[in-house]
Structure 1
Amino acid sequence: MSIWRDQWGIPHVRGASLTEVARLQGWATARDRAWQLEIERLRGEGRAAELLGPAGVGWDTFARRARLEAVARESFERLDQETQEFLTAYVSGVRSGLEGASCPELDGPDGLGPAPGTWQPWTPLAVFWVQQILFGSFPSKLFSARAARVLGADAELFRTEGLTGGLSGGSNAYAVGGGRTRAGAPIVAGDPHRVFEAPNVYLQVRLACTDPDDAFDVVGMTFPGIPGVQHFAHAGQVAWGITNAMADYQDLYRVDLRSGSEVVRRSVETVLVRGQEPVEVEVLETDRGPVVLGGSDEGWGEVLRSPGHELGDLGFGALLPLLRARSVADVEAAVERWVEPVNNWVIADVAGDVVHTAGGRVPRRDEAGEWTGWVDPLPRRTASTDGSVVTANDRCMPEFDVLAAGFAPPFRAHRIAQLLDEAGPLDADHAVAVLADTTQTAGAPLLALVPVDLHPRGLAEWDGAMDGSPGAAWYAALRAEVVDRICAAPVLAPLREPSEHGPLYEPWFSLSARVASALHIILAAEKPFGLDPRALVADAAKAVRDADPEPTTWPDQHRFWPLHALEQFDLPHTRTAPATPLPGDTDTVRCNAWIPGTSVTVRGSVARYAWDLADRDNSRWVVPLGVSGDPDDPHHTDQHDTWARGGAVRVVTDWSLLTEEKTCP
């Protein structure tokens, strides 16, 4: 039993037992992503500053105060013995794989040196929460509170599809019944949208267990550092994908700390800082959760309440049931163990069943905002043989009211549904092509306000595609000008200030990003922020006409820019990832997000897949860059061009077409 590789270097693990599969997966991951594993472990432990110096103190402070490591330990202890053994075996593989693994960031001529500490059985849970804790609603609630203080009722203009929500964007997933495919079996397709990272945040893998009493064979994607496959997978007889359900499952409570009545535990932890004196961090816990902002010196605190804190459970009880799933019903049973983040799950199987369900823990709240239990049941719908289900972080059905008040705008979801209705019978390539669509529909409210005499020549022929066309370049320039002018409104001056909560929360406090996200809502208002939308757009269109009659093409001013972990900590890093021009836009199906004031995009599709239930080897998958995190490895960027074109590579599961890895333990 060993590890095999396909032409893209994707590891195919074959083991005689569940724990052997886990150990080999850990070993392969360490060989491919040593740096990523180590930096994410340190973030989960709140020890990044031990390696990175002062740049890591801000994150470490949050990690300690939010009790990331403590909840990971508690969650591990609550797991059943088999899942604990699965995690322990994976960690054993990671430890052995890290010995001698290539890691220029640590071991190269300019490397940082060995990362302190080592992997523990509970570390995968901490790594998972590092990826997810800021993925919920609480950072946006901080911005919403600030906007309400500044604007009062006008803060409602910073919304997406009609109610206060977070920044738009997210992920796409859909499934079509067998009556709409060439082979007569369902297809599940999608692409998760997150921050671009180098190396990529998702890792492709195949896991096969040959134990006759516990056989499985699954291809899918996982966060490096977490065993199994979670969010996107094809298990042979059943396949699934997810999007963020945009559920409101995190709360912040401002509490008075002067009386001491709220605090049930207080401790002081020491953050070691490379090259500097240690930093002491006050850790306060209440009955509702940890204090993540404020403290005893300030006399107040913001308490974060989340299902993970509340339950001491991060949902890892779903890992093994997902690996062993054979039907839609099996996946739904596994999803019942999911905790956070709350996701949309799109599932289909060879029997023809197609289901979209929400999974995770959403609190019920009383009038005072206190939690009184969990929402049950969560929304669920099915599709007929000739039907489909589509989710793009939107309000997919009226039943979503139990999840939250605000969701992403419906532009991507409506466009996917339209493309599916217009398509003939689908195969995997056609399913991927749907995800590559770049047609802009969110801009209609803006375009409607442009005086006809200011329309550029040829605008009538522009089909809305955010590509290299003159229409796309003009629209992008106009939108940027409009956003800048709105942000300059005097009433918004306080919102142009940096976040009072520090750099960690700055992305959620970007006024230009908030305005761009809610532009269709703002322009529909009569006098948003005291402005006249019609006059503002007309003046912006004149400025664009007078400034540059032939602006740079949209893809050239919208380049792929993945963030290495060192860059995320504002540390110097020699870039190895290509700055590829990218079509697409924030609210197009191909969701390469626009960042006002920049010529790069740092958020978009971090994977793309189309799972064919008729024949898994006709399925497709791809990630930006490639499998390896080592710039000298041939698989560092070998999938990138295919991904950048909007395509995907074929899934190969025939062992005779794979190459056995000779260095495997």
Structure 2
Amino acid sequence: MARTFRWLLRIFVAVSLLALTGAMGIYWLAARSLPDYDATHEVAGLTGPVEIVRDHANVPHIFGDSDPDVFFGLGFAHAQDRLWQMTVMRRTAQGRLSELFGARTLRTDELLRRMDLYGAAVASVADQDAATRTALEAYAAGVNAWIDTVNEDALGRGAPEFFLFTPEIQPWRPADSIAIVKLMALQLTSAMPQEVLRARASLALSPERLRDILPDAPGTPVTALPQYGSLFPNLPANTPLVPRDGEHGYAMLPVPEIDLAGASNAWAAAPDRSAAGGSLLASDPHLGLSAPSIWYLARLELDTGGVIGGTIPGIPMVLNGRSDALGWGITATGMDDQDVFIEEVNPADPAQYRSPRGWVDFETRRSIIRVKDAAPVTVELRRTQNGPVMPGGHFGLANVTPPGHVAALAWTALDRDDRSLSAAMGLMHARTVDEAIDAMEDFVAPALNLTLADRSEIGFKMVGKQPARSADQRGQGRIPSLGWQMANRWQGTLPYAENPEVREPASGILGNTNNKITDRPFPNHITFDWGDTQRIQRWQKLMQDRQVHTRESFIDAQLDTVSFTARSLLPLIAADLWFTGEAAEDGTPERQRQRALELLANWNGEMNEHLPEPLIYAAWLRQLQTRLIRDELGPLAAEFHHPDPIFIERVFRDIDGASAWCDVVQSAITETCTDLARIALDEALIWIGENHGRALESLRWGDAHIARHDHAVLGDVPVLKWIVNIRQSTSGGDNTLQRGQTIGTGPEPFANVHAAGYRGVYDLADPDSSLFVLATGQSGHPLSRHYDDLGELWRRGDYIPMSLDPELARAAAVGVTELIPE
């Protein structure tokens, strides 16, 4: 027995030593790719020396003798910290993910090949102005200089992920940066899925009920649309629902869910509304959370002066930031920049489709997708005069495409003469609001609201090309249209001068939370589906509560977690439940309901992570909307992931008979809205008990509202996910200014997956007192201390200095990198 024990002990020790040796070897290999920020590199492509000073938060301050050299330094810094992220984004735009990840990303590659974003980017390079082409070439040279340095010095392939996937990295090209801009445009629009959803819902609902479940933003009413079924009488009303994209073969799809398309906040105060006598601007763009963040902080010292703020690795510009004279922030417009066209295929010749002038040939070409560990796949790409053909499997298009037809996509971002980067480059050089607005005239996509502040005034301009539609277009861009009818087709784009604009408002305050910005009727309407009707209400109150604002009051507004939605909806849905009924015994469902109602009755609507009320409220609304729509919509109800406050208000106020949703169609009795509210609350409390415990007072919203910063590739891999993913308990919610949009589905429906990955507050009275922060850290390397070091500051609502003072950057620098011409 003793001998057996000794041998077992020896085997255990040997295995443990081997495992430890293996772990140390893996760590050593992974750590090789951590960049040395205190180093000197001789590189090709520079005209003079470049200095990259990384301040205490690892924000690079880049100095050079010329603008091209500074952009070279930005490319070098981006590649040092985010090479894997840049590579994946480029492959996504190119439709080449499957070369790394195999068949699971095949359908994503197919979709991007059909859209041909990368082809449009390549074609657009020649359309940039000379200075922008030079900047793109210099930036690409900087990226490639770091890749060459990694290869020559054996620096761990540049990122630890390259040890798990092919280490081959193609040189960076100017078109790659334009392609990432177009990829961002794709991530900021949901117009096509919205069209398909509206068409699908119209097949199951009357026009009145369709207006309930997909309501217009409050304001000028919209003229009635034709029922989608009337366009195609033979299209069955109950066609089987094609599962959502994530459920039938997509992986790493850059197209957001309808409720998770781009959002953001930005607002500004003129000097006479500022306590310090200078303009103020706050900006916090909302995108899907990830590890690392999509944003990267940087400072560039250009010929016209320093600019600092949020960049996106792969793009050589500051998208959200300031100079010493001008600050700018962006929000998603939500423009209807996509239309689906139903094209009739010639029954006698499937290579043709109907046009206004008869049958014409599809533009057709083949594309080969290489797939890791599988045979290559050849995809036939077709295009009509309206745009690329999208097969029915994408976005549920099969549900609304009749036999003998195909669906084509028109989208402004497919412009092959896109000068958006040249326009954005001009923004960085602008010194005044007027100069900034003029600079952005050629910007195409994504459509953005640009909030501006210089030392003496503030302004607002929507930038991006808006499709010019005919007033006779039957679908008004809200449902798919017949592609062969000339009245439905786009007629170019509207003039930039017609984009909404505000200069020097009389109130001295302007801002946007993705809310409705114009009442212009169709076809100059911009969109019917504005992104916010709720946060704007809270923002208006906070701005009007003070005569003058400070940097601190703007920070308070950015971090505000009071839900106007909760304050307005709870009195409606609980009107007949509060303070009614007899006392119930502890442990009974009735007593649990009464206790929940008592908590909500005394709650001020603050979505604080430490409180139980936000979880009770959120779970109740989720169950309530599901109860209201499930019987009418059947499986289509699964498409509505988030409670719509306007829909619920219409129902409980019985606007245009909307209370009809409260009656369960399949039951013999007639249910009231109070009945459904009570049932939904009981169901919500059961769900909470099963997932978070029955003791309501001990619940924490933050335990359910966990910010999920997931690694795009390794986030689901056992063991590794504990290293690469970042989790944070957070306040806020779907409709608060400190927005933390919930995922809405799955076992953790209240996980925070879409929020302000970047926050900045700029004070033009004292520019160097400005502040900014990221949701994670600057580095994309999981072993770096800068992988998540800013994340805790972000979670707490803290910021770091946003200064253009070079001495302040050097004072606590984590390293200074010198780039010397070879």
TM-score, normalization by structure 2: 0.74
**d(CA) in 1 for partners of 2:651 and 2:789?**
42
Instruction: Please say if residues 561 and 736 of structure 2, whose CA atoms lie closer than 8 Å, have aligned partners that are also in contact.
Output: yes
Kept in 1: contact 2:538–2:563 (CA 8 A): no
Most deviating of 31-40 and 534-543: 534-543
Query: d(CA) in 1 for partners of 2:378 and 2:517?
Result: 46
Q: How many percent of aligned residue pairs carry the same amino acid? A: 25
Compare 525-534 and 513-522 and name the one that shifted more. Answer: 513-522
1:246 lines up with 2:304 in the alignment: no
Q: Given that residues 572 and 649 in structure 2 are in contact (C-alpha distance below 8 angstroms), is that contact kept between their aligned partners in structure 1?
A: no
Structure 2: state its 5+ residue gaps.
1-49, 223-256, 354-359, 394-400, 473-486, 581-593, 665-671
What is the CA deviation profile of residues 101-159 of structure 1, one whole-angstrom value per residue up to 9, with x for unaligned ones?
57789645952131453322211011121222242212222222222223242233123
Does residue 304 of the first structure (1) align with residue 409 of the second (2)?
A: yes
Aligned residue in 2 for 1:322? 427
CA shift, 1:423, in A, is: 3.4
Of residues 699, 724, 745, the one that matches 1:552 is 699
Deviates more, 1:255-264 or 1:618-627: 255-264
Matched, 1:184 2:277: yes
The CA distance in 1 between the partners of 2:421 and 2:755, in whole Å, is: 26
Matches within 5 A, 1:434-583: 434-443=557-566, 444-450=568-574, 451-452=577-578, 453=580, 454=594, 456-467=597-608, 468-487=610-629, 489-496=630-637, 510-513=639-642, 518-524=647-653, 525-528=658-661, 530-531=663-664, 532-544=672-684, 548-550=694-696, 552-566=699-713, 574-575=721-722, 576-583=724-731
Partner of 1:433: 556
Counting matched residue pairs gives 646
Please tell me whether residue 41 in structure 1 is matched to residue 90 in structure 2: yes
Q: For residues 257-276 of structure 1, what are the structure 2 equivalents within 5 Å? A: 257-258=345-346, 259=349, 260-261=352-353, 263-276=361-374
1:167 aligns with 259
- Structure showing greater radius of gyration is 2
Aligned-pair distance for 1:663? 5.5
Letter in 1 for 2:797: G
Question: 1:518 and 1:24, CA in 2 relative to 1: closer, same or farther beyond 3 A?
Answer: farther
Bigger shift: residues 104-113 or 250-259: 104-113
Give me the whole-angstrom Cα distance separating, in 2, the residues matched to 1:177 and 1:99: 48
Q: Is the counterpart of residue 396 in structure 1 residue 517 in structure 2?
A: yes
The equivalences for 1:94-493 within 5 A come to 94-99=143-148, 107=160, 111-136=164-189, 137-153=191-207, 154-156=209-211, 157-159=213-215, 161-162=217-218, 167=259, 170-209=263-302, 214-230=303-319, 232-258=320-346, 259=349, 260-261=352-353, 263-294=361-392, 299-310=404-415, 312-313=417-418, 315-350=420-455, 352-366=456-470, 367=472, 368-376=487-495, 377-384=498-505, 387-399=508-520, 402-423=525-546, 425-443=548-566, 444-450=568-574, 451-452=577-578, 453=580, 454=594, 456-467=597-608, 468-487=610-629, 489-493=630-634
Structure 2 Cα separation of the partners of residues 480 and 105 of structure 1: 44
For the 8 Å contact 2:57–2:786, the answer to whether it is kept is yes
After the TM superposition, which of the residue ranges 41-50 and 416-425 deviates more from structure 2?
A: 416-425
* Range with greater deviation from structure 2 (99-108 or 273-282): 99-108
Q: CA deviation at 1:573?
A: 5.2
Deviations 1:40-65 (A, max 9, x none): 11112111111111122111101110
Q: Is the 8 A contact 1:563 1:602 kept in 2?
A: no
Q: Deviations over 1:219-244 (max 9, x none)?
A: 121221000123x1202111111111
Quote the Cα distance in structure 2 between the aligned partners of 1:314 and 1:271. Answer: 29
8 Å CA contact 1:620, 1:650 repeated in 2: yes
Deviations 1:242-280 (Å, cap 9, x if unpaired)?
Answer: 111111121110112344135442011000001111111
User: Retained in 2: the 8 A contact 1:358–1:378?
Assistant: yes
Gaps of 5+ in 1: 498-509
Asked if the contact 2:500/2:517 (under 8 Å) is kept, the reply is no
Distance verdict in 2 for CA 1:623–1:334, change over 3 Å: same
Match of 1:506 in 2: none
The normalised TM-score by structure 1 is: 0.91
- For the residue of structure 2 that corresponds to 1:372, the secondary structure is coil
Cα distance in 2 between the residues matched to 1:298 and 1:269: 26
Q: Quick one: distance in 2 between partners of 1:329 and 1:404? A: 26
Answer yes or no: is the 8 Å Cα contact 1:357–1:381 preserved in 2: yes
User: Does the residue aligned with 2:341 lie in a helix, a strand or coil?
Assistant: strand
Give the drift of 1:191: 0.8
How far is 1:543 from its partner? 4.0
CA drift of 1:405 comes to 1.6
Go from structure 1 to structure 2 and tell me whether the alpha carbon gap of 1:629 and 1:307 turns closer, same or farther (over 3 Å shift): same
Instruction: Kindly provide the amino acid, as one letter, of the partner of residue 590 in structure 1.
Output: Q
Render the CA deviation track for 1:388-412: whole Å, top value 9, x for unaligned: 0021111134348621122123221
Q: Residues 159 and 166 of structure 1 are in contact (CA less than 8 Å); yes or no, is this contact kept in structure 2? A: no
Residue 333 (structure 1) shift: 0.8
Give the secondary structure class of the aligned counterpart of 2:573. coil
CA RMSD of aligned residues (A): 2.8
Report the alpha carbon displacement of residue 583 of structure 1 after superposing the two structures with TM. Answer: 0.7
Q: 1:613 to 1:148 in 2, by over 3 A?
A: same
Cα distance in 1 between the residues matched to 2:111 and 2:158: 24
Alignment check: 8 A CA contact 1:486 1:515 kept: no
Q: Could you say if the C-alpha distance between residues 522 and 273 of structure 1 is closer, same or farther in structure 2, counting changes exceeding 3 Å? A: farther
Q: Give the deviation of 1:302 after TM superposition.
A: 1.7
SS at match of 1:8: coil
Say which SS state the counterpart of residue 92 (structure 1) adopts.
Answer: helix
* CA deviation after TM superposition for structure 1 residue 567, in Å: 5.8
Match of 1:609 in 2: 760
Whether 1:6 and 2:98 are equivalent positions in the alignment is: no
